[in-house]
Structures are given as C-alpha cells and as structure tokens.
Amino acid sequence: MNQTHCKPTFLKIPAQKREKILAVATREFSENGFENTNINLIAKRAGVSVGSIYKYFDTKRELFLTVVQAGIRELERTLEGVYESDKPILSKLESVIRSIQETSRDSALIRLYGGIAAQENASLAREIAHEMESVSAGIYTRLIRQGQERGEIRADIDAGMAAFALDNIFMALQFSYACEYYEERFRVYAGEDILGRDDFVVDQIVRFVKSALQKQEE
C-alpha cells in the first residue's frame, strides 16, 4: 500500500527535478498510453538523461507506477477535502460531483486511470488496483457507513456495495469529463451539449444517487 516504485536515488534529487520528471511523465503517459510512451522522450523533455531515468527507476513500468501513485495521492487529498467537511452526507455528494467536473476536465491523471485498467500488462493492472482503489473505496465506504449511523442513509444496504455502485457512477463520470471515448459515450446518452450543462448533470446525478441511498419513507 505504501511501497514506492522508484529507487532510493529518486528521492534524493532536488524536488524541482523530481517534480519535473513526474509532470512530464504524467503528461506523456496520459496522452499516449503506456505502450506508446517513449522513455527517451520523457528524459529529453524533462531535461535529464535517459541514464538518469534508469538510475531512478528500474524499468519503464516502475516509472509508470510511480506516476500513478503520485496521482493517487493527489486524488486522495482532493477527496479528503470534500469529506472532511461536516455538511450533511447527501450534500457532500454534490460536492464530489462538482469536484469531478472541475478537476477531471483536461486531467492527465484521470486519463491515466482510464488507461490503467486496460494495461495489456495484467500484473501491472492488479498491482495498481489495490493502492488506487483503497483510497476512494475507503472514503466512500466510510461515508456511507457514517450516513447509515446517522440515519441519513438507509440501513438495508451493504455499505461496501453501495460505495461500489456509487464509485461506479462517479468513476465513469470522471472518465466522461477526461477521455475522448467516454466523452462521446456521455453525449450519446445525454445529448451533444451535455458537457456544457454542468448544473443539469449535478442535479440529475444527485437526484439519482439520493433516491438510491435515502432511507425510504414510512
């Protein structure tokens, strides 16, 4: 869960250099996918030598994993921010959706996520899954459970499964704002102009999720 994928040397170089490498690598991987990303090019664009990259990371794969992990930590911070507030739970959901709309557009990170699941390299996918999902899984599940305790969310549903369903909706929504494929899919479902109707989307998704989770009257 906390393993690092880089070699110790990477942690000893100036922060600025480290961040430049990660920024360039994130952009390249998210734009081109794992296979089509060229390590030599990343090195050049980050202003370091290939040799150095291989001093910091054993393989292309390790660099990729490091980039993903850095992204996860960023995501974690965003989500935590939303949840730590003390608004009623259902209103937190609205915040999440708005946050997705704001951060996912043009987000290299989300595109990266979209691509991971498809990584031809199955073992790579598995390795990422755990650390990546632990974050949101944990947060969503805790949220649901809290809501159930407070009586704001129905108790007759498994917190994990509800969190799973919720994340299914949110994950696909993220992709819909970040990846061409899902953008197109979103339009097919909701109309050509849906990417410009953010308030409508928030309203509708909240409505859907709210009913799904709310304690049934009576």
Which spans of this chain sit near DNA (rule: CB under 7 A)?
9, 12-13, 17, 36-40, 48-52, 54-56, 59-61
Identity of the residue, 10 or 175, whose beta carbon is nearer to a second copy in the bound complex = 175
Cα(125)–Cα(168) distance, rounded to whole angstroms?
18
Instruction: Find tokens 């990266």 and name the residue.
Output: 112
Site for a second copy in 132-191 (CB under 8 A): 132-134, 137, 140-141, 154, 156-158, 160-165, 167-169, 171-173, 175, 179-186, 188-191
Please report, to the nearest 10 degrees, the dihedral formed by the alpha carbons of residues 120, 37, 169, 5 taken in order.
80
Cβ-in-10-Å burial (0-12, 13-18, 19+) of 12 comes to exposed
Interaction of residue 103 with a second copy, rule CB under 8 A: no
With CB under 5 to 8 Å by kind, the binding choice for 48 among DNA, a second copy, none is DNA
Least Å from the CB of residue 192 to DNA: 32
Helix, coil or strand: residue 214: strand
Q: Which stretch binds a second copy (CB under 8 A): 15-23, 77-85, 91-99, 131-139?
A: 131-139
Is there binding between residue 102 and a second copy (CB under 8 A)? no
Nearer to DNA, 52 or 95 (CB): 52
Give me the amino acid identity at 140. Y
Cβ distance to a second copy smaller for residue 86 or 120: 120
Cα 216 from chain centroid (whole Å) = 31
CB 45 within 8 A of CB 20: no
Q: 195 contacts which partner out of DNA, a second copy, none, CB within 5 to 8 A by kind?
A: none
Are 10 and 18 spatial neighbours (Cβ–Cβ below 8 Å)?
A: yes
